[in-house]
Amino acid sequence: MAARIKKHENLTEANLQHVISLLRAEKPITKKEACSILNISYNTTRLNKLIEEHEETVRYRELRKAQNKGKGVTEAEKKSIVTYYLDGQNISDIAKSLYRSPAFIKAVIERLGIPQKLAATDYEGIRQAMLPEQCVAETFESGQRVWSIKGNCIAIVRDEITDHPTNYEQKYGSRMYHVHEIEMAECESPYFGTIKNAGKSATRLAHDLGSLSHLQEYL
């Protein structure tokens, strides 16, 4: 059974591997120092258990990666990669969860044309974001699911704005749409119960939206 992790403890894979390296160095640290680095109470039994579980996880992952080597991507893997990447997971974490190499995951992402969800605090990245070629479109239909670059999320097209004095195509070279940007696929409200596709309304130019029709079977 895996050891229970407390909120303040630093038991990431990277930190555990760092501690193991220090314990096995030419001039090793003490187990008390190892516990301090991990931010856990001094307990050699638990420390040994954590190291044992970490190394077992790494061995199992390497075994599964070896078994998958040379095998093409499955439809189930494609669905997982699309879902994880659109949810904001990085390539390294997706590779670990699917027992594939980061290079393999990156190649699938590029081949499928999956837009990248960036960290909410990466304002410059969101501002400069580019769509994969497969996502580029000039027009959208009402009810169509799209990727909103500015919203950094999946959105649903409501309608095109055609009754505004501004000629958007003339001014911006692009049509303007009302969209509903989905911030949470499902959430619980104390007043309204389960709410699906919770989010906000926005107006977006077509060049700030990307078609997801090529990924529809995986969404």
Q: What is the pLDDT of residue 119?
A: 87
Q: Token pair of 171, please?
A: 């001014």
Per-residue model confidence as pLDDT tens digits over 14-41: 999 999 999 999 999 999 999 999 999 9
- 187, β-bridge pairs: 195
Q: What is the pLDDT of residue 186?
A: 54
Angle at 191 between CA 186 and CA 194, to 5 degrees: 20
pTM of the model: 0.67
- Percent of the chain residues topping a pLDDT of 90: 76
- Percent of the chain residues topping a pLDDT of 70: 91
- For the chain, the domains span 13-68, 75-112, 123-218
Q: What is the pLDDT of residue 7?
A: 79
CATH of segment(s) 123-218: 2.30.30
The secondary structure of 158-201 as a DSSP string is EEE--SSSS-HHHHHSS-EEEEEEEEEEEEEETTTEEEEEEEEE
Question: Which residues of the chain fall short of a pLDDT of 50?
Answer: 1, 192
Per-residue model confidence as pLDDT tens digits over 129-162: 999 999 999 999 999 999 999 999 999 999 999 9
CA distance readout (Å), 123 to 118, 151, 183, 186, 217: 9, 11, 16, 25, 30
To the nearest whole number, what is the mean pLDDT of the chain?
Answer: 90
